[in-house]
Amino acid sequence: MSVSNREKTMLALTLLTLLFGGLGLTARRQVERYRQVDGQRRELQTILADRQALVAQRSDWEAQYASLRHLMPVFAPDRQVATYWLAIMDRLANQNGLSIVRRQVGEEKLVGDVYEMPIDCKDWEGSLEGLVRFLYDLQAEGAMLDVRSMFIRPTPNKPALLRGSFTLYCAYLREGAPPAATGENQP
């Protein structure tokens, strides 16, 4: 059996078409992969530039920290500080007509050279105005008190009152050098 020139040409064109089609599919995947990697590279470059800008501002941050450090209370290494923070929170709540029913003090954690202690107020009740004034007074106490999460709902039988929960983080320093930091206490 002999193959004509026309059939040879058709076979060659078919093979070339399949070859270029396979090459096109492979190139398409590679181009898509390149675009994905390039997008990740650009995102990482942006993150790197942001972090380099923060590092470049280190002296400004340190100066601001040094100017505000005196506002941070300093406690002896063996002193229990929960009562100090609970007294401040209770005083501000009472001043503003907020009733804190249940609360739980969390564990102290070292974050950098500052200690943080969360206080979970599991149940509180008060008016909207009292809540806003309470939060304002917490903020006015300085940078050492921070409400990081809050849940608010209306009281079913008393429409003028609100109920809810919040977590108050208290920041402070300890006298002397901070203890050797463990991996779990570092940010």
pLDDT at position 177 over 60: no
Quick one: pLDDT band at residue 143, thresholds 50, 70, 90?
low
pLDDT tops 70 at residue 187 = no
Read off the pLDDT band of 3 (50, 70, 90).
confident
pTM: 0.61
pLDDT in tens, 97-106: 999 989 999 9
Q: Kind of pairing, strands 99-105 and 109-111? A: unpaired
Q: Quick check: 165 pLDDT over 50?
A: yes
